[in-house]
Amino acid sequence: MKFIDEAEILVIAGNGGNGCISFRREKYVPKGGPDGGDGGDGGDVYLQANKDLNTLIDCCFEKIFRADNGQNGHSCKCTGKRGKDITIKIPIGTRVKNIDTNEIICDMTKHNQHHMIAKGGSHGIGNTRFKTSTNQTPRKCTIGKKGEKRKILLELILLADVGTLGMPNAGKSTFVSSISSSKPKIADYPFTTLTPSLAVVSVNHKQSFVIADIPGLIKGAAEGAGIGIRFLKHLERCHLLLHLVDIAPIDNSIPIDNIKTILKELKKYNKKLTTKTQWLIFNKIDLLPKDEYQKQIEKIIKEINWTNKYYMISAINNKGVKKLCVDIMNFIIKSKSTKLQTKDDNNDKNKIDFLW
């Protein structure tokens, strides 16, 4: 199935039914009073997050979602039938934005989470409601109101604990395949990875985390060069970013320049991403002698004044990978536990232990 992470759709709620003007005219009731019924409310449009979906491709084929209108009122004080609601199923992690106002309407992050995206119009009132002691034969009713109409943008943002970033051919997909059962396409040419993918990494039988592999970035990505910039939004929910660096690039580029390029493009795209915890992962150390790559890495760390953690690994040979995964798991546990504790303190509730 094709991976689609953005879709523009139009949602239209149903209109309310009109009220009815009617009078009783049975054979033995020649001067019967008013008996016009109310109209029915228009149907609402809902969004529902579904864990079984992983793409927005359905919303690319059907662009307009319309709920049913409410029926008009009838004689004999019969109320019109309410319009049928419709529910649009979308993947978990979808962010909904109003295109006209550019405001974020909701963030669908839980399975079966519902959100009303367009409210149906209210019903009109029949002439029965206008009967008074001084007006026994009202010839007045109201029409139903129109339902809400919205043009919205659906943005699917993958739910992952860890995200990878780096230049093309830095070894991101090789790294993901070495620590999980995922089998992404791996080749020695740029942009082998064309769409983001998720993989589950099991550290032991009780602990695991989810890692996202996104296409590589290149210089000028923030201005639209390459394809990786389209998928940087998938890193927004990650607790940790792994910046993979090829210590011996096949294109003879300089690793430190590649690092600066990625950091610069990341800042141009969204400054919030630069505030996330980021670790440098120097990959392909098996291609250089130990003394040479250690000296080169120390020089890089010093020159860019790197204060966060950094690791030296060979993804293809699984060298240094196990320790990295254990440290990632410990970081995620600590990060989520701190978040739960903060939420607990703010809400003044009992402490909740994080479970794996």
In this predicted model, what pLDDT tens digit does every residue of 199-218 receive, in sequence order? 888 888 788 888 888 877 77
Q: Are 92 and 109 in contact (CB under 8 A)?
A: yes
Q: Residue 170 pLDDT more than 60?
A: yes
Q: Residue 346 pLDDT more than 60?
A: no
- The pLDDT score that the predictor gives to residue 19 is 95
Q: Is 313 labeled as ligand-binding?
A: no
Q: Is 124 labeled as ligand-binding?
A: no
- The pLDDT score that the predictor gives to residue 1 is 46
Cβ neighbours of 346 (radius 10 Å)? 8
Q: Residue 225 pLDDT more than 70?
A: no
User: How far is the C-alpha of 149 from the C-alpha of 9, rounded, in Å?
Assistant: 11
Q: Is 173 labeled as ligand-binding?
A: yes
Q: Residue 356 pLDDT more than 90?
A: no
Q: Is 215 labeled as ligand-binding?
A: yes
Report, as an integer, the average pLDDT of 245-251: 86
Q: How confident is the model at residue 142 (pLDDT cuts 50, 70, 90)?
A: very high
Q: Is 166 labeled as ligand-binding?
A: yes
- The pLDDT score that the predictor gives to residue 28 is 77
Q: Residue 349 pLDDT more than 50?
A: no
Q: Is 297 labeled as ligand-binding?
A: no
Q: Are 226 and 191 in contact (CB under 8 A)?
A: yes
Mean pLDDT of the chain: 85
Q: Residue 344 pLDDT more than 70?
A: no
Q: Is 251 labeled as ligand-binding?
A: no
User: How far is the C-alpha of 258 from the C-alpha of 254, rounded, in Å?
Assistant: 6
pLDDT digits (tens, 9 = 90+) for 310-320: 999 998 888 99
Q: Is 145 labeled as ligand-binding?
A: no
Q: Is 1 labeled as ligand-binding?
A: no
Q: Is 52 labeled as ligand-binding?
A: no
User: How far is the C-alpha of 233 from the C-alpha of 230, rounded, in Å?
Assistant: 7
pLDDT digits (tens, 9 = 90+) for 33-54: 899 999 999 999 999 999 888 8
Q: Is 167 labeled as ligand-binding?
A: yes
Q: Are 235 and 212 in contact (CB under 8 A)?
A: yes
Q: Residue 339 pLDDT more than 80?
A: no
Domains for the chain: give ranges and CATH numbers. 6-156 (2.70.210.12), 162-347 (3.40.50.300)
Mark out the alpha helices in 53-95 (DSSP H runs).
Answer: 58-61
| pTM confidence score | 0.73
Q: Residue 116 pLDDT more than 90?
A: yes
- The pLDDT score that the predictor gives to residue 221 is 60
Q: Is 104 labeled as ligand-binding?
A: no
Q: How confident is the model at residue 234 (pLDDT cuts 50, 70, 90)?
A: confident
Q: Is 168 labeled as ligand-binding?
A: yes
Q: How confident is the model at residue 275 (pLDDT cuts 50, 70, 90)?
A: confident
What DSSP state is assigned to residue 66? E
- The pLDDT score that the predictor gives to residue 64 is 94
Of 53 and 124, which is predicted with more confidence?
A: 124
Q: Is 38 labeled as ligand-binding?
A: no
Q: Is 36 labeled as ligand-binding?
A: no
Q: Residue 129 pLDDT more than 90?
A: yes
Chain center to CA of 2 = 17
Q: Is 329 labeled as ligand-binding?
A: no
Q: Residue 220 pLDDT more than 70?
A: no
Q: Cα-atom radius of gyration of the chain, to the nearest Å?
A: 29
Report, as an integer, the average pLDDT of 165-192: 74
Q: Is 338 labeled as ligand-binding?
A: no
Q: Is 192 labeled as ligand-binding?
A: yes
Q: Is 195 labeled as ligand-binding?
A: yes
Which residues in the chain belong to E strands, given as ranges? 6-12, 45-50, 64-66, 86-91, 94-98, 104-108, 114-118, 149-156, 162-165, 197-202, 208-213, 240-246, 277-283, 310-312
Q: Is 347 labeled as ligand-binding?
A: no
Q: How many residues appear in the chain?
A: 356
Q: Is 171 labeled as ligand-binding?
A: yes
Q: Is 216 labeled as ligand-binding?
A: yes
Q: Is 283 labeled as ligand-binding?
A: yes
Of 185 and 4, which is predicted with more confidence?
A: 4
Q: Is 284 labeled as ligand-binding?
A: yes
